[in-house]
A = this chain, B = another copy of it.
Amino acid sequence: MKAVILNIGDEVLEGKVINTNGTFLASNLCKLGINPTKIITVGDDHSHLQAEIKNFLASDNELLITTGGLGPTHDDFTKEVLFTTLGLEMVINEQAKSLLTEYFGVEYAQCNLKQAYFPKEAIIIPNRLGTADGCIVEKDGKIFIVLVGPPFEMNPMVIDTVIPYLRKKTTNDFLIKEYIVMGLGESVIEDLLQPLYQRYPSVKIAPYASLGKIRYQLTASKANQEEFLAACNSFMALLNHHIISSENEEIEEKVVQELKRNQWKISLGESCTGGMLASRIVNVSGASEVFSEGFITYSNQAKRKYLKVSESTLEKFGAVSEETVREMVLGLFALTNSEVCVAVSGIAGPTGGTPTKPVGLVYYAIKINDDITVYHSIFKGGREQIRVRACLRILFDVYQKIKAF
């Protein structure tokens, strides 16, 4: 089934409120195997609203869901415009009227009474948390679902009434699998995946990139189950250890899991990341089992004082160098005795870059027991992106290294 979501309201159209309703409805439709083809926001404007309803009627979409415009004021006219366009008369609905009485007690403002008017064939969607009920109307092979605007009122209406109604109308025949991929750029992966696109044409492979990681989703209809499984297996074989999870997990959760499994502690010595690495580890509930202490040695003086980096190393090679992070990680181990020690130093920018050491250059050392590896990489972006990308890459390398140990 194909669906259109129509969000109505000046506050959304003018960018004062983020359209979470569209997102909420779209993701719930997808879970039911219904395909949204379009999400539209229009303002509290009669003619724009009517134009979109007419577009919908002329299209091959079968389901229209509207949100907003059900309030008691003169700005609220979604039902009026929709049902006039459909040629359906509205009458007082006794169920809606009694819900109104229940909500207000005996007395309510006259303007609220219009909220109890619906076409006589409508199924009422009770609103537990407000005065505006919604409704479902079927006409000429199409389904119209009318919902309120405020998300905290709308969401329960969807969960309590809309989803059970739609579940009866659909058969979900989709297969979905997700993978979180790290440590490779989107264009590199794209080149790697070219053969898969050709070999498994009935499987859709879609990347959703975010800072430092990419979520891949493979989907196919149940009729193509065999091809789908083959595509998943090829995908996993191809990207191998770059797949950190097939759930929506963060890399720091994986690191904490691995540390727990080994009963190891991690200690951190951070310069350019400035506590961001530690903060990510601490954000994992139960981090106290694996993390006790971290040092932010932002100045050269702090690197010398706490992590015992030698003055001559800093002078000769600079703070952003293999030699410095190596001494940082050794100093960190001397202080903490942790099985896993990580030290990082880089140039987050926007100033401080040179031709040989550009903005974005980050050196980091990972020490696991007696093994020390020093990495360096140039991360792209502004100051915050460079720091976030560096953190995610370091956590990815820590995860790989612990697993391989």
Let me know if A188 and B109 touch, CB within 8 A: yes
**Smallest CB separation, A210 vs chain B (Å):** 8
* Chain B proximity mask over A275-295: 1 for CB below 8 Å, otherwise 0: 111110111011110011111
Given the complex, which residues of B lie within 8 Å of A384, measured CB to CB? 283
Given the complex, which residues of B lie within 8 Å of A29, measured CB to CB? 15
Binds B, one of A6-14, A116-124, A133-141, A234-242: A6-14
- In A364-403, the 8 Å CB interface with B consists of 380-385, 387
* Chain B proximity mask over A129-148: 1 for CB below 8 Å, otherwise 0: 11100000000000000000
* Cα of A211 to Cα of B152 in the assembled complex, Å: 9
Let me know if A385 and B129 touch, CB within 8 A: yes
Let me know if A23 and B15 touch, CB within 8 A: yes
Let me know if B298 and A129 touch, CB within 8 A: no
Given the complex, which residues of B lie within 8 Å of A45, measured CB to CB? 37
* Cα of A210 to Cα of B153 in the assembled complex, Å: 11
Query: A186-B72, A272-B282, A275-B276 are known contacts. Are A39 and B19 too (CB-CB below 8 A)?
Result: yes
* Chain B proximity mask over A34-50: 1 for CB below 8 Å, otherwise 0: 00111111111100100
Q: How many of A's residues come within 8 Å of B, CB to CB?
A: 104
Query: A129-B380, A187-B109, A191-B109 are known contacts. Are A306 and B293 too (CB-CB below 8 A)?
Result: yes
Q: Does A224 contact B (CB under 8 A)?
A: no
Let me know if A30 and B42 touch, CB within 8 A: no
Q: Does A201 contact B (CB under 8 A)?
A: no
Q: Does A223 contact B (CB under 8 A)?
A: no
* Chain B proximity mask over A254-284: 1 for CB below 8 Å, otherwise 0: 0000000000000010101111111101110
* Cα of A298 to Cα of B286 in the assembled complex, Å: 12
Partner pick for A72 among B72, B187, B274, B281, CB 8 A cutoff: B187
- In A1-31, the 8 Å CB interface with B consists of 10-20, 22-30
* Cα of A52 to Cα of B270 in the assembled complex, Å: 49
Query: A190-B111, A283-B383 are known contacts. Are A295 and B293 too (CB-CB below 8 A)?
Result: yes
The quantity of this chain's copies bound in the complex is 2
Q: Does A296 contact B (CB under 8 A)?
A: yes
* Cα of A286 to Cα of B351 in the assembled complex, Å: 9
Q: Does A206 contact B (CB under 8 A)?
A: yes
Let me know if A37 and B27 touch, CB within 8 A: no
Q: Does A301 contact B (CB under 8 A)?
A: yes
Q: Does A150 contact B (CB under 8 A)?
A: yes
Given the complex, which residues of B lie within 8 Å of A44, measured CB to CB? 206
* Chain B proximity mask over A52-67: 1 for CB below 8 Å, otherwise 0: 1001000000000000
Q: Does A321 contact B (CB under 8 A)?
A: no
List 7 contacting pairs A-B, 8 Å CB cutoff, sorted by A: A18-B19, A37-B42, A71-B186, A108-B187, A274-B279, A275-B278, A295-B295
Known contacts A40-B40, A273-B282; 9 additional CB pairs below 8 A are A10-B206, A11-B206, A15-B30, A129-B381, A150-B210, A268-B275, A272-B282, A275-B276, A287-B298
Binding site for B on A (CB under 8 A): 10-20, 22-30, 36-45, 48, 52, 55, 71-75, 103, 108-112, 128-131, 150, 152, 156, 186-188, 190-191, 197, 206-211, 268, 270, 272-279, 281-283, 285-288, 291-299, 301-302, 305-306, 348-351, 380-385, 387
